[in-house]
Structure 1
Amino acid sequence: MWRLVPDPTLSTDVGRLGAESEDLRAMVERARSGQMPLMLLHLELDHFESVGETMGLDVSGQALLQLAQRLTRFVEGRGRVWRHSVEQFILAIERSDMTVPPEQIAEALCDEVELPLTVLPYTLFLNAKAGVSLCPEHTPDATTLLDFAELSTRLLTNSPDRIQFYSGQSSDRAHSESAISRQIIDALPNGELRLRYQPEVNARDGRIIGMEALLRWHSPGLGLMVPERFMPTAERLGVVVQIGTWVLETALRQCRAWRDQGFDDFFMAVNVSTLQLLRPEFVDEVLALIQSIGVPPQSLLLEINESALTNNVSSIFDALSALRREGVLLGLDNFGMGDSSLNALVRYPVDTLKIDRSFIKTAPASEREAAIVRAIIAMGHQLNMRVIANGVESDVQLGYLRRGDCDIFQGYLFGEPMPADAASLALRRRYLRPELFAASKPDRTLLLLDDEENVLRALVRLFRRDGYRILIAGNVRDAFDLLATNDVQVILSDQRMSDMSGTEFLGRVKMLYPNTVRLVLSGYTDLATVTDAINRGAIYRFLTKPWNDQELQEHIRQAFRTWDEQYGRATP
């Protein structure tokens, strides 16, 4: 039963859950009678308990007081604010101005919460999520309205969104979240947690140089679950630290077992949560485990989610620095998806960057993602970090990443997360998919792109006489795949194609594969487009259809000679 009463420790204008609120009942009654529609927000602060743990209860208390006053000003004249718990507030807002949609009000509220809070000597940046229910649209009952708002907030646990409105479909999802909340508490003592190990291989030859320990929960009632599904709930319930400690100890013991079998040239990667890093005892616990289990510090790579850097908490920096001084390797996980600044990246002592799998999935066909991948690799190398590509699943992705000088690969192309016995077999093989790393032939390779099959056949017949290794593509996607998996020196592309113009295609090729000589062949001449492409260096030469065989052959020969002159390979 929801009850709301004043809380004098915050403000005379802010209440706290306790006795039933006459104000809320009156507001619900007005909404039910059609006088004034109402929106109810269940506001939850993200990881607010860390403020008290790292900066003291006085600071967290002052921050709550300031936030309560700020929320009261936000709803002044149109609603009420109540405390629910240390990290939660309830806001009831009457929608007197129906021109402002509830979504906009909820977003403005979250923006208000995320404004800096000054509690000397600190400046705090809080994040919040809000579940929203509407009266009378969702329910005319006050208790149900509160339940719907809280339920919607729970659904944000595994979501990057800040706002969740109640819907009829929310109930099934909420029941699942509720089941996770009930069962995750006992998962560790009941022995339901497992570790799986996924290889990480050297980009030069496919040799296994690391294993990442990945957590799985074998729930009797919910089935097999990945961490993304249950760890946010574990964080909210406060059991994430115990789970994290178990993962670290189990992974280190497995590392020791493999070292005893003679595998001593790999690292064990283990994910750690922000809440673990914030604990003052974390560094001592990690070093004690390393010493008691008997593994070298450099055999452990702790992977930190990029979002940890946004906390800007000195204790995190101190913890990472202390671990690095002792020889423990540090990695930044899921890089590219968080909000960390480049300044934070330079400041924190990190050995590896792991590119988020979402970028690998779409590269190299997607120009923007491909550009981001290349930029992350270049930046990591400039900062003396090794770069890991996570989620490598195809030869095309592998070829593109190798040409981009990525250092380490991880993904289903080399092995899925596997039990320790299967991972031991992989370690004994030492090299995974060695055929993918064989040296490419030094053939002169010519890529032909045209969406007309008869034109491609004619070009192949013409250039085969000159002894080139010829690759053909009937569309842009196939052409990008061939470029990712082959060492191509010269490209001849049609200009007018259904999916992309030749000059646009070659412009992208210039960015991704600048060490190519690029030519356009077309019966359609757009002088402005061609001139612009030439000026930008996207194309080396523009040729017209119908072509003269001897002249076209000479153009291609000259293109290969140009490649030799520019990129230093002697003509055979």
Structure 2
Amino acid sequence: MNLNKRLVLLLFPIILFGYGIATFFVYQYQKSSVIELEQAKLEQRMFQLQSVFKEESSAVDNAMALFLEGGYLSDFLTSASSSYRDIALSQGLNVLTSQILSNKPNSRLSFALYNGSGDELFYYERSADPFATISNEQFGVTQKMIAHHITSSWELFHNSSDISVVKGRLLDRVALLPFKGRDINDSVQLSFAVRMDQFSDYLSTLEQSYNATLVWSNQILPVENVFAHSIQLSPNQFLTIKPNASVLARPLLNLRIQLIFVAFFLGVITYGLLIYLISRFITAPISALDNELTQVMEYQKENISPTESRSEIGQLSKKFYVLFEQLQNNLKKNHEMAITDTLTSLPNRFRFYEYAKSALIKAEQDKRFVSLIYIDLDNFKFVNDKLGHEAGDDLLCFLANDLQRLIKPILQSQGGCMVSRLSGDEFAIVLTHKVAVDEADDLAQSVVALFEGGYQSDHYYFPVSASMGIATYPADGHNLKELIANADMAMYNAKRSGKNRYKHYSENIASAARRTKSIETQLKMIDCDKEFSLVYMPYTSANMQIKGFEVLIRWHSAELGEIHPDEFIPIAEQTGTYAKIDHWVFETAFKSLPKIRDVFGEECVLSINISAAELGHHVVLDRLIELKEQYGIEDKSIELELTETFSYVQTSSVFDVLNGLQKAGFSIAIDDFGVGYTPLLHMIDYPVDKVKLDKVLTERVTKPEYAKLLPALIELCHLQDIVVTAEGIENTSQYKNLREAGCDFFQGYWLSKPMTLDELENWYYVYSNKGNL
């Protein structure tokens, strides 16, 4: 007898058939009890729903009775039409509704009064909406009663959004009794409506909990399904709730689970009685196979032993042998794919962690150093945006090959080195070495050399560089997490220090990172009025007339002291807190413009820097227009300076914002002109009124050897109808050279340092008395 027949004859007839049949009959018996219990619960909740409806709908009856008994209507109709009459009625209705709905502060009750012609005389609504109008349902009841001379009406309305009850009365205008006359103009129609919020909420809860179908009808419906219930809400309104059949599924499932558990428990006991027979004929050969499979799964052996047995167990062993052979081969391939970056074929992040942890353990045993060199490409996004992702992939693949080439001599001489791609444009090199710094420095310098003058592949030239951070075990961290964090910190320090260089982690770098974090924290909760201040740096025309001021921000932190804008503004832009600073600067500067013009003349202009991070958002356009209107700023009184070094991105949103600002009366200027990547493109593409020569460019082109370039540069701007301001003028000689070359405006310490608003007037008095004007 083979294995399958033994299992069928000895195990299944006893366990499955016997306990399966017993469980089935018990389940059928208990199923009806569960359904009856759920039906009883449903009926109880429907009775509660009916009670909620009666209690909430009674508000319209109470309101109508109290309103008529209180004489509010007669007072209103006998009084002359005026706002005082309406206010008196509104106050009366407020008192009335407060009495009726004292325990329902959020309930919505409305009152409408119409004359016999259907014209609205008064409408009142107790709700949070100050612009509320009469609902379609209440208006419909009003028109229906007037049209058909119906003296009294009580109607229930329901739709997908809300449920409401409307009660209306058609009264004689004089006697205030039910209208029985012929001329409808002698009547008034009043109605109260209450929105059934509690009833709707309770009904919604029932509908969701039962996943039910709601049926509204004017008569009680026959219940086709046992699991359903109807309630009467009014003489001609019935509500039937039909729960989804799936609602019964959970209690029935619980019943099945309980019965299966009991059957399982009894089956185990029965199985104990049969174990002797099964172990004698079945489990012995299976146990041997199981032991071999366990050894394979615990990596004690690669595969089970091959067998020549032709029994069922022998055939099964052969199949397991073939299966494990295939699994071993697939496992090796999958592991190789799992630890390799698909683009560059370098080890990926998973393999990096695996290798680095192993290197640290071995370094601790051998008393050696492990350096983590964290590499991040500078301007890689520029490559993808300008040359396309294909070029970006080409760059990454070529760089991967170069990095592999650089570490190859290390691998040949001493081993202990691996380069991996972590993600995007981030790479990491793990280097095990004997000398604390020198070997890591040599490798880092080799990487920097790859990017001198840009980076070249077979098909492209890339204007990129690399910033690197180095952290070394054990001085800079005792575990991989610390080394990664510190190397990353050093890399960002290298990036801020000028890029295409490397930095070793140090306490100074950590201190700078902590300061950056402190600045970031302070910016999130800063009180701009207490810690920020503005200073004003004047600029003149060619005849030395003061034409305007550049507005500069200063920050004195109570905790961190003086913080230079070059330090905190990039942090603010990166963390998204600069919008608040921008708004404060603009509003404070706008406020100061009238005082400045009182002293310096009505043509004086304020130049204010605007964060490039905000140019892609229309909210900055709306905010500036709002401030301009709020403070009555004239057109061309404010000049917005765009930092020329921001990345050149031609997006529709940027153009829309800049064009919108120019149409709103703001002038547009490019600041720091001449030191970025694409100054000419900025000047041609963007709606620019002025460029400001950067102080580095000003210093360079005013030297004798560059004298020929200066007039041509200024003329190039003038050809575009763009005026030119020279920043950073330090002496009279530079001023004269620039003036002779045709420069329009002049700014620098040669004229004045930035001053507070209070200092401007004294400075101007001294300046004008020197005969400069």
TM-score w.r.t. the length of structure 2 is: 0.45
Which amino acid is the alignment partner of residue 444 of structure 2? P
Q: What's the counterpart of residue 193 of structure 1?
A: 532
Q: Does structure 1 residue 393 correspond to structure 2 residue 735?
A: no
8 A Cα contact 1:42 1:89, kept in partner: yes
Which amino acid is the alignment partner of residue 420 of structure 1? L
Residue deviations 1:298-350 (CA, integer Å, cap 9, x gap)? 11111111123623444323322222233311111111111115244222221
Counterpart mapping for 1:258-407 below 5 A = 258-259=596-597, 263-308=601-646, 310-361=648-699, 364=702, 366-368=703-705, 370-407=707-744
8 A Cα contact 1:114 1:127, kept in partner: no
Q: What's the counterpart of residue 222 of structure 1?
A: 560
- Choose between structure 1 and 2: higher helix proportion: 2
8 A Cα contact 1:40 1:133, kept in partner: yes
Q: Distance in 1 between matches of 2:489 and 2:616?
A: 28
Q: Distance in 2 between matches of 1:319 and 1:190?
A: 27
2:525 alignment partner, SS class: coil
Q: What's the counterpart of residue 25 of structure 1?
A: 357
2:751 alignment partner, SS class: coil
Relative to structure 2, which stretch is displaced further, 335-344 or 99-108?
A: 99-108
Which amino acid is the alignment partner of residue 183 of structure 1? Q
Q: Does structure 1 residue 181 correspond to structure 2 residue 508?
A: no
> Aligned-pair distance for 1:69?
8.4
8 A Cα contact 1:198 1:214, kept in partner: yes
Q: In structure 2, do the counterparts of structure 1 residues 216 and 369 end up closer, same or farther at CA, with 3 Å as the change threshold?
A: farther
8 A Cα contact 1:14 1:72, kept in partner: no
Q: Distance in 1 between matches of 2:635 and 2:347?
A: 51
8 A Cα contact 2:419 2:430, kept in partner: yes
Residue deviations 1:335-383 (CA, integer Å, cap 9, x gap)? 111111524422222111111112334664x345555544432322222
1:380 alignment partner, SS class: helix
Residue deviations 1:255-295 (CA, integer Å, cap 9, x gap)? 24545778421111011122011223222222222122210
Q: What's the counterpart of residue 487 of structure 2?
A: 149
2:758 is aligned, of 421, 428, 432, to 421
Q: Does structure 1 residue 248 correspond to structure 2 residue 565?
A: no
Runs (5+) with no aligned partner, structure 2: 1-337, 408-417, 434-438
Q: Distance in 2 between matches of 1:165 and 1:247?
A: 36
Q: Distance in 2 between matches of 1:408 and 1:386?
A: 8
2:648 alignment partner, SS class: helix
Q: In structure 2, do the counterparts of structure 1 residues 102 and 158 end up closer, same or farther at CA, with 3 Å as the change threshold?
A: closer
Q: Distance in 2 between matches of 1:318 and 1:188?
A: 32
8 A Cα contact 1:310 1:340, kept in partner: yes
Q: What's the counterpart of residue 565 of structure 1?
A: none
Q: Does structure 1 residue 41 correspond to structure 2 residue 374?
A: yes
Relative to structure 2, which stretch is displaced further, 31-40 or 223-232?
A: 31-40
Q: Distance in 1 between matches of 2:712 and 2:542?
A: 18
> Aligned-pair distance for 1:393?
2.6
1:393 alignment partner, SS class: coil
Q: Distance in 1 between matches of 2:505 and 2:486?
A: 9
Q: In structure 2, do the counterparts of structure 1 residues 167 and 323 end up closer, same or farther at CA, with 3 Å as the change threshold?
A: same
Residue deviations 1:132-164 (CA, integer Å, cap 9, x gap)? 105469647444432332222342564443434
Q: Distance in 2 between matches of 1:10 and 1:266?
A: 58
| Percent identity over paired residues | 23
Q: In structure 2, do the counterparts of structure 1 residues 261 and 336 end up closer, same or farther at CA, with 3 Å as the change threshold?
A: closer
Runs (5+) with no aligned partner, structure 1: 55-59, 116-124, 439-572
Q: In structure 2, do the counterparts of structure 1 residues 114 and 252 end up closer, same or farther at CA, with 3 Å as the change threshold?
A: farther
Counterpart mapping for 1:474-513 below 5 A = none
Q: In structure 2, do the counterparts of structure 1 residues 367 and 432 end up closer, same or farther at CA, with 3 Å as the change threshold?
A: same
> Aligned-pair distance for 1:81?
4.8
Q: In structure 2, do the counterparts of structure 1 residues 61 and 432 end up closer, same or farther at CA, with 3 Å as the change threshold?
A: same
8 A Cα contact 1:158 1:232, kept in partner: no
The number of residue pairs the alignment matches comes to 415
Q: In structure 2, do the counterparts of structure 1 residues 22 and 67 end up closer, same or farther at CA, with 3 Å as the change threshold?
A: same
Q: In structure 2, do the counterparts of structure 1 residues 252 and 369 end up closer, same or farther at CA, with 3 Å as the change threshold?
A: farther
Q: In structure 2, do the counterparts of structure 1 residues 64 and 251 end up closer, same or farther at CA, with 3 Å as the change threshold?
A: farther
Q: Distance in 1 between matches of 2:624 and 2:340?
A: 42
Q: What's the counterpart of residue 541 of structure 2?
A: 202
- CA-atom RMSD in angstroms: 4.8
2:726 alignment partner, SS class: strand
Q: In structure 2, do the counterparts of structure 1 residues 242 and 64 end up closer, same or farther at CA, with 3 Å as the change threshold?
A: farther
Q: Distance in 2 between matches of 1:153 and 1:202?
A: 45
Q: In structure 2, do the counterparts of structure 1 residues 152 and 38 end up closer, same or farther at CA, with 3 Å as the change threshold?
A: closer
8 A Cα contact 2:701 2:707, kept in partner: yes
8 A Cα contact 2:599 2:761, kept in partner: no
Q: Distance in 2 between matches of 1:70 and 1:331?
A: 40
> Aligned-pair distance for 1:218?
0.5
Q: Which has the higher contact order (CA 8 A, sep 6+)?
A: 1
8 A Cα contact 1:44 1:153, kept in partner: no
Q: Distance in 2 between matches of 1:47 and 1:280?
A: 28
8 A Cα contact 1:198 1:423, kept in partner: no
> Aligned-pair distance for 1:435?
5.7
Which amino acid is the alignment partner of residue 526 of structure 2? A
8 A Cα contact 1:131 1:152, kept in partner: yes
> Aligned-pair distance for 1:196?
0.7
8 A Cα contact 1:40 1:145, kept in partner: no
Residue deviations 1:162-213 (CA, integer Å, cap 9, x gap)? 4341254534444443443333333345731111111111122x11111111
Which amino acid is the alignment partner of residue 537 of structure 2? Q
2:490 alignment partner, SS class: helix
Which amino acid is the alignment partner of residue 358 of structure 2? A
Q: In structure 2, do the counterparts of structure 1 residues 98 and 262 end up closer, same or farther at CA, with 3 Å as the change threshold?
A: closer
Which amino acid is the alignment partner of residue 359 of structure 1? L
Q: Over alpha carbons, which structure has the higher Rg?
A: 2
Which amino acid is the alignment partner of residue 737 of structure 2? Y
Counterpart mapping for 1:506-545 below 5 A = none
Q: In structure 2, do the counterparts of structure 1 residues 142 and 65 end up closer, same or farther at CA, with 3 Å as the change threshold?
A: farther
1:191 alignment partner, SS class: helix
Q: Distance in 2 between matches of 1:175 and 1:294?
A: 43
Q: In structure 2, do the counterparts of structure 1 residues 129 and 256 end up closer, same or farther at CA, with 3 Å as the change threshold?
A: farther
Which amino acid is the alignment partner of residue 395 of structure 1? T
Q: Distance in 1 between matches of 2:490 and 2:441?
A: 24
